[in-house]
Amino acid sequence: MKIAKIKHYAKSLIEIGQGHNCFEEIVDQLKNVEEKLAENPDFKKYLLNKRVGFIKKREALEHVFQDFLSKRTYNFLYLLIKNNKLVNLSDILNETNKVNLKNNKIKEVLVESVIPLPSEIEKTIKKIIEKKINSEIILRNIINQALLGGMKITIGDTVIDGSLFGKISRLQRKMENYE
């Protein structure tokens, strides 16, 4: 699906959720649906099958999720199913998160490390970055064994690579350029 369409659905989801003070609820429920569809590929194929009518898909969705989803969440899913866009649910949720963070002037910071960071170190890193960029952040710790040691921090388009792998790579490039 075109990026513009994904942004359109994301923007609509934000407007509906914030307009009715249920944004977090809808997003959490949609993430739950996304997980269940990933766990049950046959059900997902059924919902994506163009030969199956909308009414049958709607009934199957209601039967599987019964009382777990709000009416607004069902309506959003119905819209995706009717327009054959359910396959893009993951992309729509990712875009929704990005747009929501941007609207609330919150930046997402990815911190890659070889092992999970202890909570006190995460808090310290968060405070330092918030002070440096003068913005509230959401810090996500990603485990990346390839780093060998140290950390790699990504803030938007800026990458601060303090990993052992990064240092070795930079040293190797310098040595190649020296020759």
Tally of residues, the chain: 179
| Predicted TM-score (pTM) of this structure | 0.66
Annotated domain spans of the chain: 3-100, 106-178
Encoded amino acid at 165, one letter? F
Instruction: Using pLDDT thresholds of 50, 70 and 90, give the confidence band for residue 157.
Output: confident
What average pLDDT does range 82-109 have in this prediction? Answer: 88
Q: Is 152 helix (H, G, I), strand (E, B) or coil?
A: strand
- CATH number belonging to the domain at 3-100, selected among 1.10.520.20, 2.60.120.260, 3.30.70.980, 1.10.1060.10: 1.10.520.20
Closest CA relative to residue 152, chosen from 109, 123, 118, 95? 109
- CB of 26 within 8 A of CB of 17? yes
Q: Judge whether residue 153 has pLDDT over 90.
A: yes
